Structure 1
């Protein structure tokens, strides 16, 4: 079946190129995908491929590359390819934020910051920058962003994806817990990886370190994120539901009470996850500052299925009202 939409056309082109680069090199599909993105950016094949194959791909770029590519079309085309590559990859931390969730997090960032003229954002676990891109694509104000990622392959994809969408993003090849070069920001938005952090000597300096054994990587990232926020800055985090039930949860609760106010917790529909234990929620926090007040009522909700348009619209209208009542929107 012939690709029909611009997203499908672009995906077919980058996939064909990535498969070709992979078959003529020692690269994984994800590594080849980053190279493929660079070719789209340069509008030329820059790898050493057999002459005939190079000519075939360059002809495809000339003939099949959509003349005008919208930012969201670029993001979605790469997202499809990344999902394919992640099925091949064995690393457990390779996972994609579902599209509907990424868009919803963008809506929340927009509402929380509607009165700001410009914005600096950070994702301390950026991956391919898919979530960061989805959020940036929804912001109408001047924005710059920072992303840190320990996996070089994912960072290379983030680099070409940001370039192709013409986003002002500075990317760092860093373990965010050990070292984070980003300046203070207005918003931290992230799909937090869950699990244990192996470097006990690094975790030692954190308030949220474990008393015994390895600390939780998601706890340490929350603490690091709060230290990188400006006073009154926001966190919009995708977190595992089990986070509040672990043996280290009381320490996290106390830390959050000391450093931030909880604005809301939105539980994602269970239908999005294979089993209940993999369920996630969106956690909204605000770092304490001179003008920060705890809302009289936090935004607590169980979100309906994203495919149930009427129920979702009703929920969004209730949220819009809440943002207005709290003074985030006018």
Structure 2
């Protein structure tokens, strides 16, 4: 079967099953989706339902038996479609998904960086992993057997991330916790994050951070940048999706100082404005490398405006130029 057919079939099974479980339990679609995702992973109905409901769900699950060799990316895309549907039903500020093209581009950057890393089983972390879409999209593009860690404070999203990773066969630990508060002992090779924006509500928990606000509440995206960089091994990279103006606001003097003192800025790649509802919401990809003795920063960070992802020739040309730039600065 073609990729689109496999993805659509898996999505259809997930969607119908989630709707059925939603009606039975009176829960949100996203909550029911995690249950149906687990059913799909195991190939059986894990809930204690009536014989009629169990027969119905099992009938849908058998539709996937006709599929052979469904890839991790096909499972990810099917889950992505279902999660997007659920988010339209119960939109919350922390319920948003990284655009697929952006996730794939971050995966390309991750693979390029790891091709120069000696780690045979690189550790990839996402301290704001949501439903696990960005983390698994990146892991799917890495040629080495990566080990993932995702942390998510929202229980519904953490459950979805867990099921998402398992359904794709990823070696990934998903933790339901507050990244700002929790202790992170591992030293990651790569940290990725589509940073949530806004204020962090617990001033006491933020008090131990260099990027805490002098007065009032701190920016959660600042705290997660600090936590992500601190979670890296020496010489490790962090790839963040950030607002275009992140270093230009009045409050970001301390952020610029922290990034400069803890790491080296390798790239700031502005995404096409057409991807966003307004220019005020536009974002860029920020790539930084944690300091390590003996590693010199680039004389000039790579600054670029990415073309529309729909313009294949222009995007391919830009990708080749970015790849060549990283080859030059990672091989030295």
TM over 0.5: yes
Q: What displacement does 1:320 show?
A: 1.5
Aligned mates of 2:147, 2:290 — CA distance in 1: 20
Partner of 1:282: 285
Q: CA deviation at 1:26?
A: 2.3
Measured after TM superposition, the shift of residue 248 of structure 1 is 1.6
- Give 1:301 shift: 0.4
Distance 1:327 1:265 in 2: 16
Q: Which moved more, 1:27-36 or 1:88-97?
A: 88-97
User: 2:110 matched to which residue of 1?
Assistant: 109
Contact 2:113 2:330 in 1 (8 A): no
Does the Cα contact within 8 Å between 2:266 and 2:298 map onto a contact in 1? Answer: yes
Shift of 1:328: 4.3
- What pairs up with 1:72-151 in 2 under 5 angstroms? 72-116=73-117, 117-151=120-154
Mapped to 2, the partners of 1:315 and 1:49 lie a distance apart of: 53
19 and 100 in structure 1: CA distance in 2 versus 1, 3 angstrom threshold: same
CA shift for structure 1 position 161? 1.0
Find the counterpart in structure 1 of residue 16 from structure 2: 16
Aligned CA distance change for structure 1 residues 182 and 101 (closer, same or farther; 3 Å) = farther
Q: Distance in 2 between matches of 1:236 and 1:257?
A: 15
Could you tell me how far apart the structure 2 residues matched to 1:327 and 1:46 are? 48
- C-alpha deviations, 1:245-266, integer Å up to 9, x for none? 3222111111111111100100
Distance 1:73 1:174, change over 3 A: same
CA contact (8 A) 1:174 1:180 kept: no
Distance in 1 (CA, whole Å) between partners of 2:72 and 2:295 is 34
Contact 2:17 2:60 in 1 (8 A): no
Residue in 1 that maps onto 2:238 = 235
Structure 1 window deviating more from structure 2 (116-125 vs 32-41): it is 116-125
Q: Take 1:48 and 1:173, find their aligned partners in 2: how far apart are those partners? A: 25
Q: What is the CA distance between 1:181 and its match in structure 2? A: 3.5
SS in 2 for 1:148: strand
User: Does the aligned pair in 2 maintain the 1:238–1:283 contact within 8 Å?
Assistant: yes
Q: CA offsets per residue over residues 128-178 of structure 1, 9 Å max, x none?
A: 110000000001112111110001111111111111111111111110001
Aligned to 1:46: 46
Shift of 1:59: 1.7
Please give the residue correspondences for 1:116-265 in structure 2 after superposition, counting only pairs within 5 Å: 116=117, 117-265=120-268
Please report the RMSD computed on the Cα atoms of aligned residues, expressed in angstroms: 1.4
Query: Runs in 1 of length 4+ with deviation above 6 angstroms?
Result: none
* Counterpart position of 1:6: 6
Structure 2 Cα separation of the partners of residues 99 and 272 of structure 1: 11
Q: Which residue of 2 aligns with 1:33?
A: 33
Normalised by the length of structure 2, the TM-score is 0.95
Q: Deviations over 1:260-291 (max 9, x none)?
A: 11001000000000001110000000000113
Kindly state the Cα deviation for residue 179 of structure 1 after the two structures are TM-superposed. 0.8
* Distance in 2 of aligned mates of 1:168 and 1:86: 26
Stretch deviating more after TM superposition (56-65 or 122-131):
56-65
With structure 1 as the length reference, what TM-score do the two structures score? 0.96
For structure 1, the residue ranges without an aligned partner over 5 or more in a row are none
Q: Which moved more, 1:304-313 or 1:88-97?
A: 88-97
SS in structure 2 of the partner of residue 326 of structure 1? helix
User: Structure 1 88/182 Cα, relative in aligned 2: closer, same or farther at 3 Å?
Assistant: farther
> How many angstroms apart in 2 are the aligned matches of 1:215 and 1:284?
22
1:319-330 equivalent positions in 2, closer than 5 A: 319-328=322-331
Residue by residue over 1:214-233, the C-alpha shift from the partner in whole angstroms, topping out at 9 and shown as x without a partner, is 10000000111111111000
Q: CA deviation at 1:242?
A: 3.0
In structure 2, list runs of 5 or more residues that go unmatched: none
The answer to whether the aligner puts 1:59 opposite 2:59 as a matched pair is yes
